[in-house]
Structure 1
Amino acid sequence: MESLLVPTGIVALAEIGDKTQLLALLLAARFRKPWPIIAGIIAATLANHFAAGAIGSWVASLFSAATLSWTLAASFAAVALWTLVPDKLDDDEASQLKRYGPFLTTLIAFFLAEMGDKTQIATVMLAAQYPHLLMVVIGTTLGMLLANVPVVLAGNFAAERLPLALIRRVAAAAFAALALYAGYEALKLSGLL
C-alpha cells in the first residue's frame, strides 16, 4: 500500500499551483466540457507516468541499494527546493491546440507539459524507490487527479481561494522528508549507521 499511498500524496501536493494545474484551469475555461478534459488528463498522465516509472525501475536495477539511496536523497532534496518555485504557464501552449477538441487538446497539452516537470521526475524517483511500478503509476496518477479534477470542475473559484504558498511549502516539506528518509537508508546501507 505504501507504493500507492506515498506517491498519491506526494504528487497531489506537488501539483498544487503547478503548470499542469494552471493548464487544467485554462482548458476548463476554454472548453467548458469537464469530462473530456478529465479523460484527457487521465490518459496523458498514465502514459507519461508509466514511461517515467519504467525509467525509474530500470535505473533502480543499475545501481546498488546504497548508491540508489544516496541518489534518491539528493534528488528528493532538489525537488523539495524546486517545489517552492511557483510555475507559470504560457497561454499559447493550449491555445494552439484548441482546434483538436477538449479530449485531444488535453491529452497532448498535459503529456507535453509533464515532460521534465517535477511530478514526472518525482515519478521516476518514486518508481526507483518502491518495488511495485504499477502501484506507483496509479498513485501518481491519482495524485494528479486529486489536484487537477477539482480545478476543472470548480474553475476559478477553487484556484483563487487556495493558499498556494502554504501548499507549496507543505509539498516541499514532504519531498524533504523523503530526502531525509532516503539519506537515512543510504547511511544504513553504507554501514555508517
Structure 2
Amino acid sequence: MIAALLLSFGVIFVAELGDKSQLMAMTYALRYRWWVVLLAITVATTAVHAVSVFFGHFLGMSIPTDLLSILAGLAMIVFGLWTIRGDSLDDDESQRATRVGASVFLAVMSSFFLAELGDKTMLATITLATDNDWLGIWIGSTLGMVAADALAIAVGALLGKHLPERTIAAGAAVLFFAFGVWLLIEGLTGASTVTVIATLSATVAIVGIGVAYIFRILRAPVSPSAPSMPADR
C-alpha cells in the first residue's frame, strides 16, 4: 500500500503542475477564502479519484469523457459570469451573507469535480489503479493533487492581497471563460453535429441570459443603505 501511495502521489503531483486545474485553483484563491477553496478541492478530488479507482481497479475500464468536459466548460462560463456580476448585496441579502461561503464551496467543488472528470490526472489514476493497491492509489493520488493545487492556492491568495478588487474580478472572469472554452473544445473534438449544435446553443443561451442579468443589475438604482460586500476572501 505504501509503495502504491508514494507512486501515485509522485505521478499525480507532477502531472498536476501547470495543469488547468492548478490554474483554476489559483484563480479561485484570488477571489475567495483560501481555506474554502482548498476544502472544496479536497472534497472534489477525493470523489473524483474514488471514481477513478473504482473504474480502474474493480471494473478495469474507463468512462466516456466528452459530455463531462462539455458540462465542465459550461460550468466555467457560468462562474465567469457570476464573477463579473460581483457580490454587492442589498439589505435582505446582507443578512444572509454567511451563506456566501457555502455557495462558493459548492460552486468550487462542483466545477472542480466536473473539470477533473476525464482530465489526464483522472486517466492516470485509472491506469495506476489497474495493477496496484487501490487504497494506496486513492490516497496517494488525492494527496498529490491537493498538494499541487495548494501551491497554486498559496500563490493566488498572495496575489489577491496585493491587487485591486476590480483587477482581480476582471482577471478571474477572463480565466474562467478561457477554462470554459478550453473544456468545450476538448469535449467537442470529434463530437457529432447534433452535440456541437446543442452545445453551442446552450452556450449562447447561458451567455445571453447572464449578460442580460448583469446589465439589469448594473442599471438598477443603488440604495444608499445597501452595503457593498467584498469578495468572499
Choose which of 106, 109, 118 in structure 1 pairs with 2:108.
Answer: 106
For structure 1, the 5+ residue unaligned runs are 62-89, 159-193
- Amino acid corresponding to residue 128 of structure 1 in structure 2: T
Indicate whether 1:139 and 2:140 are aligned: yes
SS at match of 2:118: coil
Assess if the C-alpha contact under 8 Å between 1:8 and 1:143 holds in 2: yes
Alpha-carbon distance in 2 for matches of 1:97, 1:123: 32
Partner of 2:164: none
Alpha-carbon distance in 1 for matches of 2:103, 2:120: 27
* Alpha-carbon shift at residue 59 of structure 1 (Å): 3.6
Partner of 1:26: 27
TM-score with structure 1 length normalisation? 0.60
Query: Per the alignment, do residues 105 and 55 of structure 1 end up closer, same or farther by CA in structure 2, a change over 3 Å counting?
Result: same
Task: Provide the alpha-carbon RMSD of the alignment.
Answer: 2.6
* Alpha-carbon shift at residue 91 of structure 1 (Å): 5.9
Alpha-carbon distance in 1 for matches of 2:113, 2:55: 16
After superposition, give the CA deviation of every residue in 1:121-157 in whole Å (9 maximum; x if it has no partner): 0010011020x21211110011101110111122187
Alignment of 1:93-172 (within 5 A): 94-95=79-80, 101-130=103-132, 132-155=133-156
Assess if the C-alpha contact under 8 Å between 2:5 and 2:137 holds in 1: yes
Assess if the C-alpha contact under 8 Å between 1:27 and 1:94 holds in 2: no
SS at match of 1:25: helix
SS at match of 2:31: helix
* Alpha-carbon shift at residue 60 of structure 1 (Å): 4.1
Assess if the C-alpha contact under 8 Å between 1:8 and 1:140 holds in 2: yes
Alpha-carbon distance in 1 for matches of 2:59, 2:49: 15
Alpha-carbon distance in 2 for matches of 1:103, 1:109: 10
Partner of 2:38: 38
Alpha-carbon distance in 1 for matches of 2:9, 2:82: 29
Partner of 1:51: 51
Assess if the C-alpha contact under 8 Å between 2:13 and 2:144 holds in 1: yes
Assess if the C-alpha contact under 8 Å between 2:8 and 2:125 holds in 1: yes
SS at match of 1:17: coil
* Alpha-carbon shift at residue 94 of structure 1 (Å): 3.6
Name the larger-Rg structure. Answer: 2
Query: Per the alignment, do residues 30 and 2 of structure 1 end up closer, same or farther by CA in structure 2, a change over 3 Å counting?
Result: same
* Alpha-carbon shift at residue 115 of structure 1 (Å): 1.1
SS at match of 1:5: helix
Query: Per the alignment, do residues 124 and 45 of structure 1 end up closer, same or farther by CA in structure 2, a change over 3 Å counting?
Result: same
Q: Which has the higher helix share?
A: 1
Alpha-carbon distance in 1 for matches of 2:47, 2:40: 11
Indicate whether 1:4 and 2:15 are aligned: no
After the TM superposition, which of the residue ranges 50-59 and 117-126 deviates more from structure 2? 50-59
* Alpha-carbon shift at residue 118 of structure 1 (Å): 0.2
After superposition, give the CA deviation of every residue in 1:34-77 in whole Å (9 maximum; x if it has no partner): 0011110110001011011110012449xxxxxxxxxxxxxxxx
* Alpha-carbon shift at residue 23 of structure 1 (Å): 0.8
Query: Per the alignment, do residues 156 and 34 of structure 1 end up closer, same or farther by CA in structure 2, a change over 3 Å counting?
Result: closer
Alpha-carbon distance in 2 for matches of 1:97, 1:139: 34
